[in-house]
Structure 1
Amino acid sequence: MVVKDPPTAAKGRTAEPMAGRAPVVAIVCSSGGLHAAGRVLSGLSATFAGAVIVLQHVSPDHRSMLPEILAGRTELPVAAARDGQPLLPGRVVVAPAGHHLLVTGDVRVALIMSGPLPPPRPSADLLLASLTLACGADAIAVVLSGEGSDGATGATAVHRFGGTVIVTDEASTSHFSMPRACIARDGIVEHVVPLDQVASLLIGLVAGRRAR
Structure 2
Amino acid sequence: MSTPAALVIGCSAGGVDALKAVIGGLDGRLRQAILVCCHSRSDSMSLLCEVLARVSALPVVEAAERHSVQSGVVQLAPSGYHLLVENDLHFALSIDPRVNYARPSIDVMFHSAAEAWRETLVGVVLTGGNADGADGLRRIRQLGGLAVVQSPADAEAPAMPQAALDAAGADHCVALADIAPLLNRLCLA
Q: Same fold (TM over 0.5)?
A: yes
What's the CA shift for 1:117? 8.8
Structure 1: which amino acid aligns with 2:167? R
* Contact 2:98–2:104 (8 Å) recurs in 1: no
What's the CA shift for 1:46? 1.6
Q: Which residue of 1 aligns with 2:179?
A: 198
Structure number having the greater helix percentage = 2
Q: Which residue of 2 aligns with 1:150?
A: 132
Structure 2: which amino acid aligns with 1:127? M
Q: Say whether residues 1:78 and 2:60 are aligned partners.
A: yes
The list of structure 1 runs, each at least 4 consecutive aligned residues, that deviate by more than 4 angstroms after superposition, is: 114-118
Closer/same/farther in 2, CA of residues 116 and 206 from structure 1, 3 Å limit: closer
Structure 2 SS opposite 1:148: coil
Which segments of 5 or more consecutive residues in structure 2 lack a partner in the other structure?
Answer: none
Higher Cα Rg, which structure: 1
Residues 123-148 of structure 1: CA deviation (Å, up to 9, x unaligned): 11110000000100111110001011
Q: Distance in 2 between matches of 1:83 and 1:206?
A: 27
* Contact 2:100–2:131 (8 Å) recurs in 1: no
RMSD: 1.9
* Contact 1:98–1:114 (8 Å) recurs in 2: no
* Contact 1:132–1:139 (8 Å) recurs in 2: yes
Which segments of 5 or more consecutive residues in structure 1 lack a partner in the other structure?
Answer: 1-15
Q: Give the TM-score of the pair, scaled to structure 2.
A: 0.92
What's the CA shift for 1:115? 5.5
Identity %: 32
Alignment partner of 2:29 out of 47, 51, 54: 47
Q: Which residue of 2 aligns with 1:160?
A: 142
Residues 17-57 of structure 1: CA deviation (Å, up to 9, x unaligned): 5x9xx611011000000000110011112211211011101
Structure 1 SS opposite 2:149: strand
Q: Give the TM-score of the pair, scaled to structure 1.
A: 0.83
Structure 2: which amino acid aligns with 1:189? A
> Size of the alignment, in residue pairs?
188
Q: Which residue of 2 aligns with 1:31?
A: 13
Alignment partner of 1:189 out of 157, 161, 170: 170
* Contact 1:125–1:151 (8 Å) recurs in 2: yes
